Amino acid sequence: MLEILLDATVRAGTPILFATLGAILNERSGIINLGIEGLMLIGALAGFSGTYLSGSLLVGILFAFAATFVAGSIHALITVQLRGNQIVSGLALTMFGVGITALFGKGMVGLTIDGFTRIAIPGLSSIPVIGKALFNQDILIYFSFLLVFLIWFFLYRTRSGMGLRTIGENPAAADTCGLSVSKYRFFAVTVGSGFVGIGGAYLSLAITPMWIENMSAGRGWIAVALVIFAGWSSPRALLGAYLFGGITAMQLRFQAMGTTISAHILQMLPYFFTILVLVISTLRLQKGASQQPEALGLPYDREDRK
Amino acid sequence: MSDLLTIQNIRKTFPGVVALDDVSFSVKRGEIHTLLGENGAGKSTLMNVLTGLYHPDKGRISIAGEQVHFTSPRDSLARGIGMVHQHFMLVPAHSVFENILLALDQVPNLFNRKTYKAKIQTLINEFSLDLNLDAPVWKLSIGAQQWIELIKLLMRDCQLLILDEPTAVLTPQEADRLFSVLRRLKDRGKSIIFISHKMREVMDISDRVTILKKGRSIDTLSRGHFDESLLASLMIGRDKIPQWQKNLQMSDEIVLDIQNLSVRNDRGLADLDSFSLQLKKGEILGIAGVAGNGQKALAEVLTGLKNASQGRIMARNEDITNSNARYSYIAGIAHIPEDRKTIGIAPDMSVDENLIMKSFKSGSFRNWIFQNKKAIRRNAEEKIEQFAIKTGPDGTPVRYLSGGNIQKVIIARELSEHPSVLVALYPTRGLDIGSAEYVHKVIADGADRGMSTILIAEDLDELLKLSDRIAVMFRGKLIGYVDPRQTTREEIGLMMSGEVSGAVA
């Protein structure tokens, strides 16, 4: 019973994890991205159609990454190059994602593919209780573990990562050190969007191997909130994503057990927790424990006389 | 000695403002070259052009005889030009090491922390500086933060160092340390462009001085060919800087009595720690102390921007600590904030609008719920003339004014309601001599009318000249009072570092 629940937790948490990691990379450069929800949908559709047309899951994933990379570069163009309003551009990206996937996804509705299969890691997967949940999973989940580490390593152990963090904190300082603020930001926004896309693709390639309109169902917004909860740190994003995965898995479990609580109430739980998490992390932020990049949301204009 | 840098006929304009009109000068190898000029004369703009932050509209820059075009700070760094900006380019949340490493060229993406730490440490030891590489920058004093900026440039082996008012935030002792380091750098053949308003320093350290006025380079003088009064007259076109007669017959009536006041900051540390202070009617009470020792918290708690966690503020025997009564009392406290551009004004609104921000609700500036544009304009015209504010065309956003003129707008607004207490936080920081003199005159005139002023400043000369009494702060505590007519710079300097308790008056 617990094993099944944990397994469902990890699977439900993975798309949110990818989306949160992508958003963290994004926001570390100082650019807010509220287009996560739209990017997830674009990733889900691109991943599904790529796999359907080619028959290869890998091609599907690459499709998802490429499509959201391109969509993310629109956001980057507007916010980094043109110094537009990040909130408005992000919201527009979400609406764009919802619309365009509904349009182009019409022909894909009802089709099926063979989704990802589980690969048990010998030895590790027989650890009691957590073994199955963590080490008898599909390759994308293993990749998500790796990505948590890679993003942490990039941010805290490489010079470019240090540069990216500096740009998120004080772009003028990075500029005077000779770093190109716009190049770093462009990189963070596009590659971050690509990871969000993989999160979307996980929905249509692993959880339910088909395309359903609006299938991200608000997970992108949960990711936006989780970035704050995680304090812009990738290991804590893992924690947060699985917390939400756990709540989702639990409410599904309750429904399966035939509880008398309305299914609508149960489905509301993850979103209710999102609000709760935002309240708690905001209170924490006010106590001065802020890890928010100082320059988050502020366009950088070298010649601006402030 | 050959010329390292030559600047010819540089011009740079911003919307509605000619920041640089026509500037030419040159810097030799191994010299300390001071750039002197009033604020708005274009010093900072010129330096931003030189470091590639701004693109000049006209003119040429040559390094070692070769013409260069900078499109970004990267280009100027590559040619060995580095700058310590007036507002430090540091990330407070990052460690000293991270801040320095980022400035280094050609660090591979995967680097060995130990090797680089050792390299930086060697340089720190060479100048016997006290810097912990692992400490986060926000924990360091402003003086230490400036060393980081300097180390950044030295690690890159910059040949020309630009320091924009580096002593503004230092104690006299720290400033002396800086000068000795600068002299050693000069002996090693580095060139230094030094920007300052403080005549004492300019006289002390400069090999040559170039005077800027209204965006034009007026003259370049070599050591031995200039003295204080000549420089001042070239810079502001006046021979003598007037001295104010101190107001010696202040009353003993205490208008503000601060008793054991403690204020905690966002991190839960004490910004004010059991701080006590008495302000008398009509006096100018100077507060000396290195920036970051609680001056800002003092101003904020007095003006109602912060609450005290302990202690009392008494105004004429009435307790106004954290109480609503305080807010009505605040009407009588005027505030000149430290950060004039973010707290003092609404940058994108016009001069007219900024001038009535304290009194826009009053009947004289409105017709029912509508603004009375005529009255607002009339008020602005009056203030602009009275305070000699230089503005652009009608409706120009305040942000386009020079620092000195923005400060005049704030002062005009704050003093318009004849406050009984003025809390002035670094009121002349970044101002040219002419504007600073004006601010001093306004404060001194106010004292004659019975206004009490708490003057928080970093320039000891300013405090000594203007104050009736000086209180010295260190780490949120009052160290003691000194009499400006009897004390010495050295005594105050020592008290600022918390070493000696002065005579408590």
Query: Inter-chain contact B266–A288, Cβ cutoff 8 Å?
Result: yes
- The answer to whether A294 contacts chain B (CB < 8 Å) is yes
Amino acid at B84: V
Query: Inter-chain contact A175–B105, Cβ cutoff 8 Å?
Result: no
pLDDT value of residue B307: 85
- The answer to whether B85 contacts chain A (CB < 8 Å) is yes
- Per-residue pLDDT, averaged over A178-191, amounts to 95
Residue numbers in A near B94 (CB within 8 A): 162, 165-166, 169
Q: Is residue A244 within 8 Å of A226, Cβ to Cβ?
A: yes
Which segment of A59-68, A105-114, A147-156 scores lowest on mean pLDDT?
A: A105-114
Closest in A159, A174, A306 to B111, CB measured: A159
Enter the tokens of residue B36.
Answer: 């002197």
Share above pLDDT 90 across residues of chain B, in percent, rounded to a whole number: 31
Nearest CA in chain A to B77: A178
Each domain of chain B, given as residue ranges in start order, spans 3-236, 253-332+420-505, 343-418
* CA gap A188, A206 in Å, rounded: 26
pLDDT value of residue A15: 97
Where do runs of H (alpha helix) occur along B371-488?
373-386, 403-415, 433-448, 460-466
Provide the CATH topology of domain B253-332+420-505.
Rossmann fold (3.40.50)
pLDDT at B28 exceeding the cut of 70? yes
Dihedral in degrees, nearest 10, Cα atoms B30, B36, B42, B46? 0
Contacts across the A-B interface (CB distance below 8 Å): 84
Query: Inter-chain contact B74–A178, Cβ cutoff 8 Å?
Result: yes
Sorting pLDDT into bands at 50, 70 and 90, what band is A83?
very high
Sorting pLDDT into bands at 50, 70 and 90, what band is B239?
very low
pLDDT at A272 exceeding the cut of 50? yes
Which residues does residue B95 pair with via DSSP β-bridges, in sequence order? Answer: B136
Higher pLDDT, A285 or B50: B50
ipTM confidence score? 0.84
What backbone phi and psi angles, to 5 degrees, belong to A33? -125, 105
Higher pLDDT, B197 or B86: B86
pLDDT value of residue A12: 94
Q: Is residue B160 within 8 Å of B190, Cβ to Cβ?
A: yes
pLDDT value of residue B50: 92
Query: Inter-chain contact A159–B268, Cβ cutoff 8 Å?
Result: no
Give me the residue label for tokens 């000396």: B288
Sorting pLDDT into bands at 50, 70 and 90, what band is A264?
confident
Query: Inter-chain contact A159–B102, Cβ cutoff 8 Å?
Result: yes
Sorting pLDDT into bands at 50, 70 and 90, what band is B250?
low
Q: How far is B482 from chain A (nearest CA, A)?
A: 37
pLDDT at A110 exceeding the cut of 50? yes
Sorting pLDDT into bands at 50, 70 and 90, what band is B242?
very low
Q: How far is CA A245 from CA A14, A234, A251, in A?
A: 8, 16, 10
- The answer to whether A285 contacts chain B (CB < 8 Å) is no
Q: How far is CA B343 from CA A99, A160, B168, B337, B403, in A?
A: 43, 35, 20, 7, 14
Which segment of A38-42, B38-42, B167-171 scores lowest on mean pLDDT?
A: B38-42
Each domain of chain A, given as residue ranges in start order, spans 2-289
Please report the residues numbered 93 through 122 in chain B whose beta carbons come closer than 8 angstroms to any beta carbon of chain A: 93-94, 98-99, 101-103, 105, 107-111
pLDDT tens per residue, range B184-203: 999 999 999 999 877 788 88
Q: How far is CA B38 from CA B21, B164, B387, B444, in A?
A: 15, 13, 17, 22
Q: How far is A267 from chain B (nearest CA, A)?
A: 38
Query: Inter-chain contact B72–A178, Cβ cutoff 8 Å?
Result: yes
- The answer to whether B28 contacts chain A (CB < 8 Å) is no
Sorting pLDDT into bands at 50, 70 and 90, what band is B504?
very low
Q: Is B53 exposed, middle or buried (0-12, 13-18, 19+ CB in 10 A)?
A: buried
The segment with the largest mean pLDDT, out of A9-18, A283-292, B426-435, is A9-18
pLDDT value of residue A34: 97
Give me the residue label for tokens 């949120």: B476
The segment with the largest mean pLDDT, out of A30-44, B174-188, B438-452, B487-501, is A30-44
pLDDT value of residue B40: 67
Which segment of A75-84, B411-420, B494-503 scores lowest on mean pLDDT?
A: B494-503
Mean model confidence pLDDT for chain B = 85
CATH, domain range B3-236? 3.40.50.300
Residue A94's CB is within 10 A of a number of other CB atoms, namely 22
pLDDT value of residue B304: 79
pLDDT value of residue B236: 64
* CA gap A169, A209 in Å, rounded: 40
pLDDT at B36 exceeding the cut of 70? yes
Share above pLDDT 70 across residues of chain A, in percent, rounded to a whole number: 97
- Per-residue pLDDT, averaged over B13-33, amounts to 87
pLDDT value of residue A263: 84
- Per-residue pLDDT, averaged over B448-469, amounts to 87
Q: How far is CA B236 from CA A41, A146, B34, B361, B433, in A?
A: 65, 64, 16, 39, 8
* CA gap A66, A253 in Å, rounded: 35
Query: Inter-chain contact A294–B108, Cβ cutoff 8 Å?
Result: no
- Per-residue pLDDT, averaged over B313-330, amounts to 73
pLDDT at B266 exceeding the cut of 90? no
Which segment of A144-153, A177-186, B80-89, B391-400 scores lowest on mean pLDDT?
A: B391-400
Query: Inter-chain contact B101–A288, Cβ cutoff 8 Å?
Result: no
pLDDT value of residue B138: 86
Nearest CA in chain A to B72: A178
Sorting pLDDT into bands at 50, 70 and 90, what band is B240?
very low
- The answer to whether A172 contacts chain B (CB < 8 Å) is yes
What backbone phi and psi angles, to 5 degrees, belong to A153? -60, -45
Residue numbers in A near B157 (CB within 8 A): none
pLDDT tens per residue, range B9-19: 999 987 667 78
Q: Is residue B438 within 8 Å of B430, Cβ to Cβ?
A: no
Which segment of B35-44, B98-107, B251-260 scores lowest on mean pLDDT?
A: B35-44
Residue numbers in A near B108 (CB within 8 A): 159
What backbone phi and psi angles, to 5 degrees, belong to B242? -65, 150
- The answer to whether A233 contacts chain B (CB < 8 Å) is no
Nearest CA in chain A to B339: A306
Q: How far is B53 from chain A (nearest CA, A)?
A: 6
Test mutation, A150, A166, A176, chain B, max B CBs within 10 A: A176
Query: Inter-chain contact B91–A303, Cβ cutoff 8 Å?
Result: no
Closest in A165, A176, A294 to B73, CB measured: A176
For A2-289, the fitting CATH number among 3.40.50, 1.10.3470, 1.10.10, 3.30.1540 is 1.10.3470
pLDDT at B457 exceeding the cut of 60? yes
pLDDT value of residue A290: 62
Sorting pLDDT into bands at 50, 70 and 90, what band is A273?
confident
Sorting pLDDT into bands at 50, 70 and 90, what band is B347?
confident
Higher pLDDT, B198 or A8: A8
Share above pLDDT 70 across residues of chain B, in percent, rounded to a whole number: 91
Mean model confidence pLDDT for chain A = 92
Can you tell me whether residue B193 is helix, strand or coil? strand
Query: Inter-chain contact A159–B108, Cβ cutoff 8 Å?
Result: yes
Q: How far is B343 from chain A (nearest CA, A)?
A: 12
Query: Inter-chain contact B77–A303, Cβ cutoff 8 Å?
Result: no
pLDDT value of residue B370: 86
